[in-house]
Amino acid sequence: MAYDDKIRAAYRAEIEAIREKGLYKEKRFICSPQGAEILVEYPEGAPREKVLNFCANNYLGLSSHPEVVAAAHRGLDERGYGMSSVRFICGTQDIHRELQDKVSEFLGMESTLLFPSCMDANSGVFEAILGKNDVIIADRLIHASLVDGIRLCSAEYDTFKHMDMKHLENKLILHRDKRVRLVVTDGVFSMDGDLAPLDRMCELCDRYGAMLLVDDSHGTGFIGRTGRGTHEHFGVMDRVDIITTTFGKGLGGASGGCVSGRRELVELCRQKARPYLFSNSLAPAIVAASIKVIELITGSTERRDKLERNTVRFRQGITEVGLCVREGETPIVPVMLFNAKLANDMARDMYAEGIYVVGFFFPVVPAGAARIRVQLSAAHEDHHIDRCVEAFRKVGEKYGILGLDRNGIIEKYGM
Ligand SMILES: *Cc1c(COP(=O)(O)O)cnc(C)c1O
């Protein structure tokens, strides 16, 4: 079929409809390494501005850390640029094995398999270990990549209400005749920053003979006393069967993901998971840098401790200013605005104050739950955090929402 005027007009109309709903995602260009201070071109073509970044997944401040960059250089020099192969043909180097072993040890799991990304890990894991006599019982707010992976497998799919343990228990009873019951959750939910109650989930899994898979992409490296993740936080490090996680967030932020867990489950992923078999191997520079990251955070809790202090400082500041934040303890702090346009407008005004944050609204979060999601980093210094809080005070005042609760803001701006 020719790409004729008619079909072009149809696609243009679809894009225009996105714009008209106020849901259009604008381009923003970062013209510097990732960090607390970045150089940004926004809108496209505008002069570059130095601003503070409060929306990266750079939790541990390792994205441009000199030792990590140096390790990537060494990986490049010693093992080359690319593998030109998937893992199982000729894409596995000794350093891939080394990283897998280091991750197993760090997470306290039996075995680990690297994937090009956590999205790929999640795409491959379910199909590899489950069949049509099995059931997946997942929290209703799990990450999109888990939902996609679940769609690719033949097991039955059921859900429980977000963090509702009674509802999960009912579902475990309902599906008691299945061969395998696999409970699936995020460790840290990325939009609200809330922690899945893994202690209670493990109890239920034990009672009803179910397995537990946790995607800890927003937890690995900094949640828990030594940063092992959400399973450490809840004292269940030996009771989670599978963890999937990413190297693209706290652990250096380049790319890569993994499935870590019971030996046989990981082995089956090596035999069957399609992204492992059909997508290219993680580049040596990233592998070498990821090994360095694991070494850095195994040797010291300094970075996750600083992140924790930064989180407390920001949460206190923003609460004193009178903005409406979801309570919690993770470095994900949603400043709730409820109305999509308000979130968008305030994010733009924050940028004018030198703070880079982004408004989130439907379909990324439920309609009527628009927000600016702030993410803290160990790369932030006190003066960065104070400037961010001050900018929120100024912008919040302009919109007259300081001191207002949910109802107050909705009364003023609608949902
Ligand atoms: C970011 C994220 C992913 C995707 O990780 P990538 O390595 O970037 O593909 C998967 N799951 C969760 C919960 C995430 O937050």
> Which uninterrupted H or E stretch holds 338?
strand 332-338
Q: Are residues 71 and 176 in the same domain?
A: yes
Tokens of 303: 């970075």
Helices (H) then strands (E): counts for the chain:
16, 14
Both 135 and 212 in one domain: the answer is yes
- Judge if 157 and 234 occupy the same domain: yes
Secondary structure (H, E, C), 14-76: HHHHHHHCCCCCCCCEECCCCCCEEEEECCCCCCCEEEEECCCCCCCCCCCCHHHHHHHHHHH
Same domain, 109 and 123: yes
314 burial (CB, 10 Å; 0-12 / 13-18 / 19+) is buried
Say if residue 22 is in the same domain as residue 123. Answer: no
b/e per residue, 66-101, with b = 16+ CB within 10 A?
Answer: eebbebbeebbeebeeebeebbeeebbbebbeebbe
User: Do 189 and 235 reside in the same domain of the chain?
Assistant: yes
State the Cα angle at 200 between 326 and 174, rounded to 5°. 110
Q: Which residues are CB-contacts of 242 (< 8 A; sequence separation ≥ 6)?
A: 125, 211, 212, 213, 214, 259, 260, 261, 262, 265
**323 and 245 together in one domain:** no
Supply the CATH number for residue 222's domain: 3.40.640.10
CB 25 within 8 A of CB 42: no
Region at 386 (left for phi over 0; alpha for psi -120 to 50; beta for the rest): alpha
Peptide bond into 275 cis (omega under 30): no
Task: Write down the pLDDT at residue 1.
Answer: 67
- C-alpha span between 218 and 284 (Å, rounded): 24
Q: Quick one: 138 and 36 in the same domain?
A: no
Could you identify the atom of ligand 1 that is nearest to the CA of residue 120?
9
Residue 202 confidence class, pLDDT cut points 50, 70, 90: very high
From 59, 63, 118, mutation site for ligand 1 pocket: most ligand atoms within 8 A of C-beta: 118
CB 143 near ligand 1, within 6 Å: yes
The DSSP-derived string for 253-302 is SS--EEEEE-HHHHHHHHHH-HHHHHSBPPPHHHHHHHHHHHHHHHH--H
**Is there an atom of ligand 1 within 6 Å of 145 CB?**
yes
CATH number assigned to the domain comprising residue 337: 3.90.1150.10
In a shared domain, residues 182 and 117:
yes
**C-alpha dihedral (140, 170, 121, 376), degrees to nearest 10:** 50
Tens digit of each residue's pLDDT (9 = 90 or more) over 96-144: 999 999 999 999 999 999 999 999 999 999 999 999 999 999 999 999 9
Q: Are residues 46 and 97 in the same domain?
A: no
Strand partners, 137: 158, 183
Which of these three, 299, 330, 361, is where a domain ends? 299
- Give me ligand 1 centre to Cα 274, in Å: 17
Whether the per-residue pLDDT at 83 is higher than 70: the answer is yes
CA of 407 to the centre of ligand 1 (A): 33
Give the per-residue pLDDT at 24.
Answer: 81
Distance 342 CA to ligand 1 centre (A): 27
- Residues β-bridged to residue 338: 370
Query: What does the mean pLDDT of the chain come to?
Result: 97
Domain boundary among 269, 299, 329: 299
Best of 195, 242, 249 to mutate for ligand 1, by most ligand atoms within 8 A of CB?
249
Q: Which domain holds residue 307?
A: 5-60+301-413
pLDDT at 189 (0 to 100):
97
Domain count, the chain: 2
Distance between Cα 144 and ligand 1 center (Å) = 9
Which positions ≥6 away from 245 have C-beta within 8 Å? 107, 118, 121, 215, 216, 217, 219, 220, 229, 257, 258, 260
The sign of the dihedral angle between the CA atoms of 64, 70, 72, 77 is positive
Coil, strand, or helix at residue 378?
coil
281: pLDDT strictly greater than 90: yes
Residues 6+ apart with CB under 8 A from 180: 129, 130, 133, 134, 135, 155, 211
Residues serving a catalytic function are 190, 218, 249
Q: Which of 57, 143, 222 to mutate to test the pocket of ligand 1 (most atoms within 8 A of CB)?
A: 143
23 pLDDT exceeds 80?
no
Atom of ligand 1 nearest to the CA of 186: 13
Q: How confident is residue 25, by pLDDT bands cut at 50, 70 and 90?
A: confident
pLDDT the model gives residue 21: 78
Secondary element (H or E) of residue 390: helix 382-398
Same domain membership, residue 138 and residue 122: yes
Quick check: CB of 190 below 6 Å from ligand 1? yes
Query: Which of 119, 150, 375 most suits a substitution to test ligand 1, by most atoms within 8 Å of the C-beta?
Result: 119
Judge if the beta carbon of residue 218 lies within 6 A of ligand 1. Answer: yes
Last residue of a domain, one of 283, 299, 315: 299
- Atom 12 of ligand 1: nearest residue by CA position: 217
257 Cβ closer than 6 Å to some ligand 1 atom: yes
The answer on pLDDT for 170 being more than 90 is yes
Task: State residue 154's pLDDT score.
Answer: 97
Calculate mean pLDDT across residues 66-89.
Answer: 97
Peptide bond into 363 cis (omega under 30): yes
Q: In this structure, are 82 and 218 located in the same domain?
A: yes
pLDDT at residue number 342: 94
Give me ligand 1 centre to Cα 145, in Å: 7
Q: Find out whether the beta carbon of 246 lies less than 6 Å from any atom of ligand 1.
A: yes
pLDDT in tens, 366-405: 999 999 999 999 999 999 999 999 999 999 999 999 999 9
Expressed in angstroms and rounded, the spacing between residue 246 Cα and the centre of ligand 1 is 6
Cβ of 215 closer than 6 Å to ligand 1, yes or no, is yes
Grouping H, G, I as helix, E, B as strand and the rest as coil, residue 153 is: coil
Atom of ligand 1 nearest to the CA of 143: 13
